[in-house]
Structure 1
């Protein structure tokens, strides 16, 4: 007599539910870029989607409540001279978004009140210029205000202080295109993947490479993310183009794995029990995803026990919300599903972080739902020279050009 023991888990019955047609966003001219990017970013207020635009690069910013078909003349965030490759919302200001482009620049935008307006937004608050080739990735620091990472096809990482427009650190340890970059929980380390099939752990303040490990053997893009306790989860391909994942260490967490061009979202639970990565289930749809946005935990609906929400972008111009929910009979707040999570207040200033201070994210309770903090939402701008912009003049002296502006917010 044999029987199968079912592993106990609070996430064992997680299921995905796609949005109804009225809950979707339609009429989107989805980008045709071949760059490996999510092309979509979400926060509790807005949805950002990279779009096709004539004569440069642009993306949409859509209030979450504005579902349905977009007007043909819906305004764009446009100001790049080349296609936009990546976008990322600031974790401490839901009105601020960074964009990276083929035009070799990074731009930071303030979305005005009562958006959308009648005209395009084409003036960024800050334009950051240092990369020599296209910029494919932008990632905000998880705990320090105004710290932004950018990675370019010039094989260089830049750590920016957006508040002064300065490059705090240039990191040139990669030998090929950088596929992905991720901060650890307190922002004291970086993990990157590269076309050279190596995984690097980097000190972002000094630029020192602390560890180099072997990545996946396949030539296709691979990704690496830090988990909360410092362990690293990677996805990639074998030499035979078979999909793979790896866990560098173990902890208890749920991860969702999404592949561009696939029709599925697979979810796994990671624990300290062998085999450490446990398959839970798969969400299947009929059409492949062109891109995928992910809602921060503070934007989830605690009243329906939603633990994650995706925004799936289709080639046909539709963006569909997909909710991951744990069914419970009780209508009470489920504390085990919602431990305190990162809020919208930074733990450090940019200067404190660069001077060597570390701090975990400031956590908030989601009991009763997320309530935005009383922060200042308007960026103020003051120009400041960038030392990397000092170029020798024809007469042998130095000419200083300001590449960006100063922005500060509480």
Structure 2
């Protein structure tokens, strides 16, 4: 059954009172976190409460309305996954067949299946940055990235979040439908949902859009950020949408829409056994992160473009959908605070990340020090000035690591000193050697002798 609007401490909380309370909290938190504009939608299955606040573009002063579309970043990926699932449901492809059956570009990794592309279990590297990707074609990109030499693990045995996998999934949609990805997502998903399509790179958008923003920490002044997604990466991150648009898609993922047959939505939500996403979530389905809370399994996804933070959570059992968009980096912290408020105000316990468990006291793991690689990205773990391990990615400032006996690790936030979920190390069962590390869901393979 859907949630009902819970009782307040002294009196029943009506939808209008809930709207007022959530509006106040969104306004307050946006100021606190220096976020120019944001949207929040709570769909209980019985009532829909939608609030928005602030400015869509600091340069123009345009208002942030309920219809303003925000760059979703990786929250585009569930839409691409849904396209593939619809094609599979129509019999145009088989989720468990090699993706190379449709994509010659993947002939270098013939064991990779369509299912593994969608669940990030193919072992593919993340892919080059957008500036590098912009200088090539999709075919050359995939041929260069999807090689046996660069596989992080045997396909179907582990998890590594991969933009390249979704570039391949988007190319699969184009090959099977004969339409460019933009046209396929417009015709098969967005328009049936009643969503006005918007994409990064639109020169004349047909609806109001928000800019992402960088905020000066000293002055608090926000300035618009340029979106630099390479066109070939569109299936991994090019959509713009409002929180209301996301909520409509969330209802489809819950099986409450004609867009996705209930069996298709259920298959997307089913956890893949090999998918162990570590700090990102408690599990992963086909295009969806999975979160276990209070005996329920929520699904959803997060997305960050340049200067935006967007989030979708769906509880299929109760019918609750929560969608949030914000147009500055601080919107991630705003989202976390809103999730805490939703528990207090509505009783809806929205999962933000993976569950926390008691892992005991930190331990020293000297065998984890070394060099690891994911495609062109290098992870270096070495003792810091105080002897504790620290992580540096591509030579950037090293962040202290806190390690535990179960091979999980946290990263210390340099600003606050607080531990944040980092990831885990992997020990080869045959040799006992630490041979991989997963940081923020991305796995890197050891390249030194350890």
State TM-score, norm by structure 2. 0.25
- Normalising by structure 1, report the TM-score: 0.27
Q: Which has the higher helix share?
A: 2
Higher relative contact order (CA 8 A, sep 6+): 2
